[in-house]
Each structure stands twice: as structure tokens, then as C-alpha cells.
Amino acid sequence: MSEKEPVLTRGLPMLALRGMTAFPGMLLTFDIERPMSMAALNFAMGADQNIFLVTQRDVVKDIPQKEDLYEVGTVCHIRQQLKQPSGNSARVMVEGMYRGRIREIVTDSPSFYAEVERVNDCSERVSEARREALVRSCVTLFEEYVRLSDNTPPEIVLNILSNNDAGYVADFIANTVRFKYQDKQLLLEETHPTRR
């Protein structure tokens, strides 16, 4: 980003994820039980249904502070929510829109609300042939992973077979493969698609 380009920020309700990472362009379904998370969800649903999801560093921490959160997360659109009859929990499906970085946490009660700056992929000086070879190699390894995995349907590979976008392929594989959340976070923070 050049010095002349303005930094685009947006105020959004923020939800801290425990043990999982959201990626742009991917669907993620999870359960919400914490009061702070329910408040963030309700705030987002009352606005434009967009929410910033960021991963906690320590899954045990029940009420995380700013230092307990990773700096980079994903701005997501809430596609579906199903509140439980008790009203104290919900199952949510979101779709990742783009990477975001916390510029400032504005409030922490009753929920997190943050100023989030958009994080775009960097332009790369990689030849098209090298990019295609990297994508092909990743897809081949992913096919092997799916073949050896008992709980991943084989047809999932069809989602990336004809896609040459290195960033999308990397995000899709990272979202699907069972990595530790810390490793997924490293991939989310990498803005060079071919490095991802």
C-alpha cells in the first residue's frame, strides 16, 4: 500500500472465536454461547449483518482482552442464525468477505466493537507458469489428503479443481484441512497468495 492510499476502516461488532479461524470466501458454521458474543451477533443482525471474526490466542480465556486476540481476522456476512429456545445460545453460518486488521477496539461492553482496516493480498512478481504449477501442486496434495481422510467427502476437491486463483485455493485448503488454529492463523495473516 502506498503512502497516498487512504486506509479504509470500518466500525463493526467483533466476535472472538475459540479454536477456529474464518477465511475470506469460505462458509463457517459455529455455536455461540458467551453473552458478549450473543450481544455482538444481535448488534450485527440489527445492522447490515456484517461482523468481524477474530481468533483468540488462548481458547481457555472466557472473556478475552485485546492482547488475547490476534490482530488479523475476517469480516464476514451472517448468512443464517438459529437461536436456541433458551435464547442464551445460537448456531450461526457466516461467509467470509475479506481479511481485516484491528485498528482499535472501541468498546468491550456489552460486546466488542472494533475499527477494522481491510487487508488486501499483495501483488506478486511471480510468473504465471510458476503460479499455475504451485496451484496444481497444492490441488494434487489436497486430493491425496482427501483420499486418505475418512471424514472429508471426495467431491469437495471439485470446488478448486478448475480454479487458478492461488489465494482462493490456499484459503479453501486451509479452511478444509484439520490444522491447528495457530497454523491457520499464520495462513490468514499471509498476504502473498503464492506463499500461502
Q: For each of the chain's 196 residues, which pLDDT tens digit applies? A: 444 454 567 889 999 999 999 999 999 999 999 988 999 999 999 889 999 999 999 998 888 888 999 999 999 999 999 888 877 889 999 999 999 999 998 876 788 899 999 999 988 888 889 999 999 999 999 999 998 888 888 888 888 888 888 999 999 999 999 889 999 999 999 999 888 8
Gyration radius (Cα) of the chain, Å = 18
The residues pairing with 17 across neighbouring beta strands, listed in sequence order, are 55
Q: Give yes or no for a contact between 55 and 79, defined as CB atoms under 8 angstroms apart.
A: no
Are β-strands 27-32 and 72-83 bridged in parallel, bridged antiparallel, or unpaired? unpaired
pLDDT at residue 154, as a whole number: 81
Distance in angstroms (rounded) separating the CA atoms of residues 50 and 116: 12
Distance in angstroms (rounded) separating the CA atoms of residues 43 and 51: 9
From residue 70, alpha-carbon distances to 17, 59, 83 in Å are 10, 12, 27
Backbone phi, psi, residue 162, to 5°: -105, 15
pLDDT at residue 1, as a whole number: 43
Entry pTM: 0.88
The residues pairing with 73 across neighbouring beta strands, listed in sequence order, are 100
* Amino acid letter for position 27: L
